Amino acid sequence: MYHSAIWDEPLLKELEEIKKENYVPQTALPGPLQRTTPLDIPDLDETQVIRHFFHLSQMNYGIESGIYPLGSCTMKYNPKICEEISHWEQFTLLHPYQDESTTQGILQIMYALEQMLCEITGMDHFTLQPAAGAQGEFTGLLLARAYHESNKDFKRDEIILPDTSHGTNPASAAMAGYKVIEIPSSKEGTVDLGMLEKALSEKTACFMLTNPNTLGIFESEIGDIARIVHKAGALLYYDGANMNAIMGKARPGDMGFDIVHLNLHKTFSTPHGGGGPGSGPVGVKKKLERFLPVPWIMKKEENYYFDYEHPDSIGKIKAAYGNVSVILKAYIYILLLGGNGLKEASEIAVLNANYMKKKLVDSNLYELPYSELRKHEFVISCNRLLSNKGIRALDVGKRLLDYGLHPPTVYFPLIVKEALMIEPTESESKKTLDIYIDTLLKIAQEDPTLIKSAPHNTVVRRIDEIGAVKNPILTWKTLEKTKDLMT
Amino acid sequence: MQFIPNSPLKNNMLKELGLHDINDLFSDIPQKIRVKNLHLPQGRTQQEVEEHMRLLAQQNKSFYEMPSFLGGGMIPHYIPAVVKSVISRSEFYTAYTPYQPETSQGFLQAIFEYQSLIAELTGMDVSNASLYDGATAVGEAALMCTRITKRKTFVVPGNISWEKKSILMNYTKGSGIQIKEVAYDKKTGMIDLESFKKTIDTETAGFYLENPNFFGVFEDKVNEIHSILQKNQSMFVVGIDPISLGICKSPGEYGADIVIGEGKSLGNPLDFGGSTLGIFACKNEFLRQIPGRIIGMTKDQQGKRAFCMTLQTREQHIRREKATSNICTNEGLCMLAAATYLSWLGRKGLHELSEINFKRGQDLEKKIIAIPGFTKMFTGVHFNEFVIRCADAKKIQKYLLRQGMQGGLLLKQWYPELTNCMLFGITELHSEESIERLISLLKEVR
């Protein structure tokens, strides 16, 4: 049985300070700015600091701890070589504004990566600037606005998306100033063409779609979708969160998508960093190219340079040129796998998902809503467990933790009751998949009280999240006023 | 195939699924849009890729190969080995956003420590778990001010980077927010108080002040600015360089409502401008309007201290189009580096580092303006960046480059009024030799 490391690790503020010296300002700033109160940050020795964070690291699960099958997150192995190279000083110690003659290597990498992403997606031009998927969406929607406005088409203030879409889709649309129209999926779990047609109008700016969608189902009617969206004068947006399903098999550009964002921290194996840094490059078709953020990375003869001379550009979306350290790792990953390897990655990711799906569904313990074939992820429902034993998807997830396995995404997409959304990726061996399947089947037959009180083997038991909202303790300072959580 | 353990088992697994060919798994993709192969080079071995990367790396000149005195809001600082060691723990860097708190207590506690450190530095009550960078934080702050005040005008000074202005326009355009600009005083480099007074009114949702500003100058009229904003019930947003806060008052002490900034300087390398770290902190009363993730301390079933993501009903995965922001993935690992860095520095370390940066900024400026032909552009007191005017900035830049040195940032492209002006930056990292060499080259070039 698995047991996580348990350190009763105090907060930095609760560690014993070793040197306490009063701060005496040496410099003279203008009166209203001169700091007079010393900062309340503990003075610690390096040994204390390293042990503190080491203990914390041991109470955290990463992809090297084991399988991490969060649906729509593509938690694949992060090759060590990508990390190592990205730490070379000739990459880390570059100033964004140093002369281009001294950054030809990194410029060449960024230029080449844009070309590679164009080939993988079938788009004409990419920008690497957006910092994450959600920012890619936001950028894409700003491009859509610029495009429609350049056509003197100012009425288009609506974004349509299916009810299976990621939460960032409607949030990005709202932030870009659009009204959000959500259409219900068909009984096959795909886009309902009739509903889409009804929702489309001269007010539609964009239809946002993930393909395969968040149920893991490929939208086979994508040709018709593209046709009716374009007929209405709207643009088709591709959320690339699920690109790991189709590399080398099909390309959004060929499906008729006008704007695409990718998540380098998903499909192209750069680590998630516990929530970033990510990278969300955006690719467009030729007709939208002139609106892309500046600077563009250009090549003239053998020289690479930044080009700011694009008067129709939307300008900038992020500081400097994007999260370059992430961009660098994705480039290395693509070189390692090559065109053949990327295709193989998608094939095996899909194979692994369908293998798990079959074994779980054949057991009759979990249900599979909607039709048979899946791409790189699938969604099963714990509805049967709920009605038979009162066990919810959340409980199953928590119980998996006791076996040292990371739970799938739970309760998403919203249209599936008691959803477990599983994406094994191509990184996991058959042996690991079998263990995960067997554990899920075992849990379904365990004593419900054991499951509902899980996890038992983790550093903490189930957490009072409602209490955290009612009584927000967000810093050391607020804690000092709330004595009972002091230890 | 590398990193794909089931490649050799493909046929067996297909058989178990009752399939014969891997393409059977893709039969739902219409023929018309299927591709056979990607036109990319074949995969290479790790050794081959490393050799290729070495050749590319050689075409870059790092700070140590070519000393650089570029300012512009990103200057390299010394990064202790402890930081690299902590962020290289794969339990941290390969983890996802901590959706499952029981198995993410380590990262969650680290974020809680970061939030506490940032709140202390900025003088605010709460901090989020990071935004993308200091520039997008201006955009998020503007949106938050308009949500809170229900007003539609946001004001910025002329002495912030063009990049921030452009990003701000992109962040606010969709919401119909009007951006107004306050001129800066061409003599001091600080904001022009008269222009400020004329621009701020009861329609103003908020005002963004950068301290020190893009020209490196400290804004010393903070009390006047605060009282005018207060009179108009407008929000006061302050942008900071965290390293400066060892000697400079926390914005909370002079009335800021929201404090933001680029946190890259806290233990993160330059990385050609990214990855970055967006600092975002505010007063408690605005807690429910904060963009992005927040970590809270609570208890588990057995009463043991525990951490989890909290106040999630602000966020996109719950609220969708009604969320306070679309941000999902933030800058987790950069935040972890910042928390480690600050705890390594400690109170004393940060105060000292801040002093050193200030002092080196003053010393370098003195040395440069002692050379005939180089003059100080602004009279305001500056931190570790400053603007110098000379006869022919471009010529000097080229000469320095030929000699293997990168001089200050040429400002003309973004500030036409600052022709022949260079923005210099210096930190504890610059060696005495490189400083001496810069000075002697600047003497030669005339």
Mutation target for A interface from B36, B56, B402: give the one with most A CBs within 10 A. B56
**Confidence band of A25 (pLDDT split at 50, 70, 90):** confident
Q: Which of A252, A310, A311, A309 is nearest to A285 (CA)?
A: A252
Give the whole-number percent of chain B exceeding pLDDT 70: 100
Residue A424 shares a structural domain with residue A309? no
- pLDDT for the residue numbered A23: 72
3-state secondary structure of A189: coil
Q: Concatenated DSSP letters for A241-281?
A: GGGGGTTTTB-HHHHT-SEEE--TTTTT----TTT------
Q: Does residue A19 have a pLDDT over 80?
A: no
Q: How many angstroms away from the CA of A232 is the closest CA of chain B? A: 22
Residues A214-233: b if buried by 16+ CB within 10 A, e if exposed: bbbbbbbbbeebbebbeebb
Mean predicted lDDT score pLDDT of chain B = 96
Q: From the list A178, A277, A335, which residue is nearest B52 (CB)?
A: A335
Q: From the list A320, A339, A373, which residue is nearest B42 (CB)?
A: A339
Residue A139 shares a structural domain with residue A242? yes
Q: From the list B117, B274, B326, which residue is nearest A138 (CB)?
A: B326
- pLDDT for the residue numbered A46: 97
pLDDT, one tens digit per residue, over B28-43 is 999 999 999 999 999 9
Residue A93: phi and psi, rounded to 5, are -105, 50
Residue A384: phi and psi, rounded to 5, are -65, -40
User: Tell me, what DSSP letter sits at residue B232?
Assistant: T
**What is the widest separation between alpha-carbon atoms in chain B?**
84
Mean pLDDT across A314-325: 97
ipTM passes above 0.90: yes
- pLDDT for the residue numbered A24: 72
Tally of CB atoms within 10 A around A20: 9
The Cα-based distances of A280 to A137, A296, A324, A453 in angstroms read 8, 16, 11, 39
User: Are B4 and A348 in contact (CB < 8 Å)?
Assistant: yes
| CA–CA dist B43, B48 (Å, integer) | 10
What's the CATH number where A385 sits? 3.90.1150.10
Q: Does residue A205 have a pLDDT over 60?
A: yes
| CA–CA dist A141, A147 (Å, integer) | 10
The Cα-based distances of B154 to B173, B199, B262 in angstroms read 12, 10, 20
| CA–CA dist B436, B446 (Å, integer) | 16
**Is CATH 3.40.50.1100 the right assignment for the domain spanning B348-445?**
no
Give the whole-number percent of chain A exceeding pLDDT 90: 92
Judging by beta carbons within 10 Å of its beta carbon (0-12, 13-18, 19+), is residue A30 exposed, middle or buried? middle
Q: Does residue B381 have a pLDDT over 90?
A: yes
Residue A148 shares a structural domain with residue A196? yes
Residue A215 shares a structural domain with residue A248? yes
Contacts of A39 in chain B (CB under 8 A): 120-121, 245-246, 347, 350-351
Judging by beta carbons within 10 Å of its beta carbon (0-12, 13-18, 19+), is residue B85 exposed, middle or buried? middle
Mean pLDDT across B59-86: 97
The Cα-based distances of B417 to A98, A148, B71, B192, B379 in angstroms read 22, 35, 18, 16, 17
**Confidence band of A158 (pLDDT split at 50, 70, 90):** very high
Give the whole-number percent of chain A exceeding pLDDT 70: 99
Q: How many CB pairs under 8 A join A and B?
A: 671
User: Tell me, what DSSP letter sits at residue A127?
Assistant: E
Contacts with A305 (C-beta within 8 Å, 6 or more apart), sequence order: A100, A107, A297, A298, A299
CB B444, CB B410: distance < 8 Å: no
Q: How many angstroms away from the CA of B199 is the closest CA of chain A? A: 23
Judging by beta carbons within 10 Å of its beta carbon (0-12, 13-18, 19+), is residue B297 exposed, middle or buried? buried
Q: From the list A35, A49, A105, which residue is nearest B248 (CB)?
A: A35
- pLDDT for the residue numbered B255: 97
- pLDDT for the residue numbered B152: 97
pLDDT, one tens digit per residue, over A214-242 is 999 999 999 999 999 999 999 999 999 99
Judging by beta carbons within 10 Å of its beta carbon (0-12, 13-18, 19+), is residue B408 exposed, middle or buried? buried
User: Are A75 and B96 in contact (CB < 8 Å)?
Assistant: yes
Q: Does residue A21 have a pLDDT over 80?
A: no
Strand partners, A182: A161
Mutation target for B interface from A3, A39, A297, A302: give the one with most B CBs within 10 A. A39
- pLDDT for the residue numbered A481: 84
Mean predicted lDDT score pLDDT of chain A = 95
pLDDT, one tens digit per residue, over B308-328 is 999 998 888 888 988 999 999
What's the CATH number where A252 sits? 3.40.640.10
Residue A306 shares a structural domain with residue A452? no
The Cα-based distances of A72 to A245, B33, B198 in angstroms read 11, 23, 50
Residue A176 shares a structural domain with residue A255? yes
Q: Which of A297, A294, A319 is nearest to A306 (CA)?
A: A297
Strand partners, B113: none
Strand ranges inside B212-289, DSSP E: 235-240, 258-262, 278-282
In-domain check, residue A425:
yes
Q: Does residue B334 have a pLDDT over 60?
A: yes
Residue A305 shares a structural domain with residue A238? yes
**Cα(first)–Cα(last) distance of chain A, in Å?**
28
Tokens of B336: 């972890």
pTM of the model: 0.97
Place of tokens 């070039």: B445
The Cα-based distances of B54 to A84, B60, B146 in angstroms read 12, 10, 49
Q: Count the domains in chain A.
A: 2
Judging by beta carbons within 10 Å of its beta carbon (0-12, 13-18, 19+), is residue A429 exposed, middle or buried? middle
**Cα(first)–Cα(last) distance of chain B, in Å?**
60
Q: Which of B309, B266, B245 is nearest to B134 (CA)?
A: B266
Q: Searching chain B, which residue's CA lies closest to the CA of residue A34?
A: B248
| CA–CA dist A484, A280 (Å, integer) | 43
Residue A262 shares a structural domain with residue A359? no
* Amino acid in position A123: M
Q: Does residue A460 have a pLDDT over 70?
A: yes
In-domain check, residue A26:
no
**Confidence band of B446 (pLDDT split at 50, 70, 90):** low
- pLDDT for the residue numbered B64: 95
Mean pLDDT across B392-401: 96
Residue A243 shares a structural domain with residue A301? yes
Q: Note down the domain range covering A367.
A: 352-466
Mean pLDDT across A446-469: 96
Contacts with A19 (C-beta within 8 Å, 6 or more apart), sequence order: A43, B348
Strands A303-307 and A296-300: antiparallel
Tokens of A299: 């090549």
CB B313, CB B319: distance < 8 Å: yes
| CA–CA dist A474, B114 (Å, integer) | 10
Contacts of B85 in chain A (CB under 8 A): 50
In-domain check, residue A177:
yes
The Cα-based distances of A28 to A47, A254, A300, A428, B281 in angstroms read 34, 64, 50, 60, 27
User: Are B72 and A30 in contact (CB < 8 Å)?
Assistant: no
Q: How many angstroms away from the CA of A185 is the closest CA of chain B? A: 17
User: Are A62 and B91 in contact (CB < 8 Å)?
Assistant: yes
**Confidence band of A1 (pLDDT split at 50, 70, 90):** confident
Residue A135 shares a structural domain with residue A221? yes
- pLDDT for the residue numbered B1: 67
Residue A242 shares a structural domain with residue A168? yes
Q: B81-341: which CATH topology?
A: Aspartate Aminotransferase; domain 2 (3.40.640)
In-domain check, residue A427:
yes
Q: From the list B80, B250, B297, which residue is nearest A479 (CB)?
A: B297
- pLDDT for the residue numbered A484: 64
Contacts of A455 in chain B (CB under 8 A): 102-103
Domain ranges of chain B: 7-54, 81-341, 348-445
Q: How many angstroms away from the CA of B231 is the closest CA of chain A? A: 20
User: Are A222 and B30 in contact (CB < 8 Å)?
Assistant: yes
Strand ranges inside B44-201, DSSP E: 126-127, 153-157, 178-182
Which helix (H) or strand (E) segment holds residue B206: the answer is strand B204-211
Residue A420 shares a structural domain with residue A310? no
User: Are B310 and A465 in contact (CB < 8 Å)?
Assistant: yes
Give the CB-side neighbour count of residue A462, counting CA atoms within 13 A: 15
User: Are A460 and B304 in contact (CB < 8 Å)?
Assistant: yes
Contacts with B51 (C-beta within 8 Å, 6 or more apart), sequence order: none
Tokens of A278: 């990510």
